[in-house]
Every structure is written in C-alpha cells, then in structure tokens.
Amino acid sequence: MRRPPGQDGCVGVVGGGYVGLALAAYLVTSGRSVLLVEADAERRHALSRGEMPIYEAGVDSVLSRALREASLVVTGDLGLALDATRMVFITVGTPPGADDLPDLSAVALVVSELRTHAKPGTVVVLKSTVPPGTGRRIAEQLQGPPFRLPVVSCPEFLREGSALRDMHTAARQVIGGDDREAMARVATVVTAPGTPVIMTDTASAELIKYGSNSFLALKISFANELARFADEVGADIVPVVQGMGLDPRIGPEGLRAGLGFGGCCLPKDVRALVGAGGRHSTAFGTLEAALQVNAAQRALFTEEIRRELGGRLNGRRVAVLGLAFKPGTDDVREAPSLDVIRNLLGHGAELTAHDPCAIGKAAPLLPPHVRLTADPYDCLSGADAAAIVTEWPEYLRLDWDRARQVMRHPVLVDGRNCLDPGEIARRGFRYRAVGRPPAQAVCSADRPGAITAARAAPV
C-alpha cells in the first residue's frame, strides 16, 4: 500500500456503504491512503474488483484508480487496518431498528473490536449517524485500561447523488469531542480548504446532524402544505417559494413542493429524533406533523391522477416515470415511488414504470405485475396518464411530442413540478402539478395553441 508521509497519511474506514465509499473517495483525492474494512464478503470482493455496490457520481472512477494505485486497499480484517493506521472512521450503517431507534449493532461490533485490537494513539471517528449521547457512551467503553482511545464525532452531511462534491464543498465541518488534539487531527483529515469548522462536544455534534436533517424535512413538508393551500386559492407554489426563499432567514433550499422526502436519511432521522424525544420528555410535534404531511403527499398525488382520469383508476394504464427517491442515485429506500405504486395498484390501475438507474434496486420491492422498462417511450406507450415521480433530467429532455403520440391520453401529472406547464400544454397535454394552476392546450380555431389555466374535462 502506498503510504503518504506524515501523521494520518493513511487512515482506516470501517464500512463500505454510501458514507464509507464517499469518504474513502474524498480521502484518496486529498492525497491520503485508505484501508477500507468491509465485513460483508460479497461486497468486499466486488469492491476489490472495483465494482461499486452503489451508483454515486464520481466515486467509482476515483476508487477504481485508487485500487490500481494501491492508495486504497479493501480488507475484511479490522486488525490489519488498526496495525497500519492511527485514525479509524466508523461509517457502518445504522438502519432503522425497533420503535424507530437506529440499530447500532454494527457500530457496537466495531467498538468491541477496537477495544481489543486498536493501538495506543488511535483516534476513533464516529461518522455513522447515531442518536445524541452515543458518542459519549462509546468513549466510556474505550476509556481503557490499558489505554484510552479518544472518540471524535464527525457527522456526515453529504447528499446522495452529489456525495463527493458535497465533501469537497461542505457548508461546514462539525467535530465533536473532548480531546482537542484528536479533534484537530480529524479536522485536518476531513476538512476541505475554506470550509468552516465547528468544534463542540460530542452530543451537540450528534444533534447538529439530526437537527439539520429534521429541519430540512420540516421545510419540505411546510412547502407541501403551502402547495395544497395554493391549489385552493389559485396561487402558484413555484413563485411563492421563490419569493419566500429570497429572504436569507428562510433560504431557497428545501422548499421544492412535490411528493415529499424519501431516502435513507430524512425519514429515518426524523423518526429517530421523534423517538429519542419521546424517551426523554420532548414531544417533537412539529416533526410528527412533518411526517404526516409527507405520508399524505403520496396519497394526494394518487388522488390527483384518479381525478384527472375521471375518478376511475381501475383498469387504467398509468406510466410511472421515476423510481429512485431522487435523481442522481439508484437508491429506492423510502422512495415515494413505492407508495405511489402501491396506491395505484390498490385502485386497480395497470402500471409500467421506468427509471434510468434504479430499476435493479426497485424490482425486488415491486409486485411482478408492474412492468419495468428501460425505455421511457415504451413506458408511456398506450398509457392513459403519465406520472412523474422522480425529476430525472432525462424526463425534462423527453420528446413530449413523441410521448403524446404513443400515449392513449395526453395526461401528465407531475409530482416534482419539474416541467414547464406552458410548454407541456403547448404540446397538447393536460398538465397537473403540485400546488400549480393546471395547464391545458385549448385547441380552438381562434386561439390555436393558447394556454388556459382552467381545469379541463377529464378523459
């Protein structure tokens, strides 16, 4: 293995999932070498061959080159990593466990190995998302004798689909702990130039993570509730949130109305914080409401499709465009598409679904009678309505004239407000979005191609 000079030139990363692989990619691009410890043999062998278990822009090419240059070594032996490094990042998964508390068993396993194999002076860095208080408990377990291992909390804020970019352009770096020397070493290793660093205690660092994700979820759910009201008063949510977001106290991010938040982080972290609050004496009423609004968005969307199809879904053909929880990833964990598909099938609709990346991950989660296709036009062929569930750029670039020709009825329900209502209506579609006035081309002699916001008769 190539070992750059100096302290922490070589670091250990335990867990080859999203966070571990993105972190490894960041570390090798910043000139360090990485010993990546992956317990799952199948995943480990695939990684050693340069095959990434996730679709994440840029990570595969960086890690494949690092494997060739020996700045990345994949192993199943944590002991080997502990012999070669004095800084170990814990990036194993903390999936939802019983009553919404994160399952920390993978973290506990790593900690017990660290107690027996870690060398003096090794810094243990907690990057997995863990409830506040976890880092302090782990620090107590690693107090020694024979020696103390400093524990530093360094929560991750990367977004799927832009993980590597987010690491190089992080809005802030959060470092939590009580060992200043160890915290400074970690800050040096993970902080890109120019990134503000917050040095705090472990529990506060852990809470910054939960607070940030939960506040994003709150913003999204508020935008969705506002979108419902916009529908009732004839307003358009897109300029509304634009106007709100220009206020720096509010900010534009996280205000896109649509099908709500999904993925492996926001839903899990919001529920975990609500659960943690309940085990103390803090009722997170705001977050419980955000979860309710979020769940209802999928049902409202299904209802909108049913309404556009004259109140009947039974036996109607619906083309579902997008399975991933957001563009840029193949991740379908807690994806809105799964709920929308379940709802539509529940009403007796016939479904064909498309996604540019996530069909492989989605297929095992979907009933066999949902037809999956890699061709969006094949997906739209013979459809009574098309439903946009993930705002992939591919759908913005679709030839909607061709789409209209292959569909049975030109009805488009956009769950991500990603298309231009006027443009789509000009192409003869009846277009319905979230919190936006409906758009419909009026094919009349005196006003060919004119756009009307009035709701047209369903098909």
State which residue, 177 or 322, has the beta carbon closest to ligand UDX: 322
**Helices 180-190 and 18-29, interaxial angle, to 10°?**
80
Mark the segment that binds ligand UDX (CB under 6 A) among 35-43, 153-161, 200-208, 346-354.
153-161
Omega before residue 146 within 30° of 0, cis:
yes
Does residue 272 contact residue 96 with C-beta atoms inside 8 Å? yes
Which of 34/167 has CB closer to ligand UDX? Answer: 167
Catalytic residue, chosen from 154, 265, 379, 418, is: 265
Compare residues 110 and 158 and give the one whose CB is closer to ligand UDX: 158
DSSP, collapsed to helix, strand or coil, labels residue 125 as strand
Q: Least distance in Å: CB of 291 to ligand UDX?
A: 13
**265 given a catalytic annotation:** yes
Give yes or no for residue 156 binding ligand UDX (CB under 6 A).
yes
Least Å distance, CB 290 to ligand UDX, is: 11
DSSP 128-178: S---TTHHHHHHHHT--SS----EEE------TTSHHHHHHT-S-EEEE-S
36 vs 81: CA distance, rounded Å: 8
Q: Is the CB of 132 or the CB of 260 nearer to ligand UDX?
A: 260
Least distance from C-beta 223 to ligand UDX, angstroms? 7
Taking CB under 6 A as the criterion, the residue among 158, 187, 270, 424 binding ligand UDX is: 158
Residue whose CB is less far from ligand UDX, 29 or 213:
213
Number of residues that bind ligand UDX (CB under 6 A): 20
Q: How near is the Cβ of 156 to ligand UDX at its closest, in Å?
A: 5
Give SS3 for 123: strand
User: What are the Cα distances from residue 158, in Å, to 26, 32, 63?
Assistant: 11, 20, 17
Strands of the sheet with 72-75, listed across from one edge = 72-75, 33-37, 10-14, 87-90, 123-126, 151-153, 173-176, 197-200
Helix (H, G, I), strand (E, B) or coil at 396: helix
Q: Taking CB under 6 A as the rule, does residue 159 contact ligand UDX?
A: yes
96 forms beta bridges with 102
Q: Does residue 372 touch ligand UDX according to CB under 6 A?
A: no
- Nearest distance from residue 340's CB to ligand UDX, in Å? 13
Pair 183, 175: CB distance under 8 Å: yes
Residue closer to ligand UDX (CB basis): 261 or 284: 261
Shortest Å, Cβ 325 to ligand UDX: 5
439 - beta bridge partners?
Answer: 431
Q: Quick check: 15 binds ligand UDX (CB under 6 A)? A: no
3-state secondary structure of 7: coil
Per-residue string for binding with ligand UDX, 375-414, x by CB under 6 A? ----------------------------------------
Find the binder of ligand UDX among 63, 220, 293, 349 (CB under 6 A).
Answer: 220
Least distance in Å: CB of 286 to ligand UDX? 17
- How many CA atoms are closer than 13 Å to the CA of 159, on its beta-carbon side? 18
Give the containing element (helix H, strand E) for 267: helix 266-279
Draw the binding track, 226-265, toward ligand UDX (x: CB under 6 A; -: no contact): ----------------------------xxx-x-xxxx-x
H or E segment to which residue 450 belongs: strand 450-452
Is residue 56 a contact residue for ligand UDX (CB under 6 A)?
A: no
Phi, then psi, of 297 in degrees rounded to 5: -60, -40
Contact with ligand UDX (CB under 6 A) among 101, 157, 184, 377? 157
Sign (positive or negative) of CA dihedral 24, 25, 30, 32 = positive
CB 336 to ligand UDX: min, Å: 7
Contact set for ligand UDX, span 273-292 (CB under 6 A) = none
Q: Interface with ligand UDX includes 176 (CB under 6 A)? A: no
Residues at the interface with ligand UDX (CB under 6 A): 156-160, 213, 216, 220, 254-256, 258, 260-263, 265-266, 325-326
| Residues acting as catalytic residues | 265
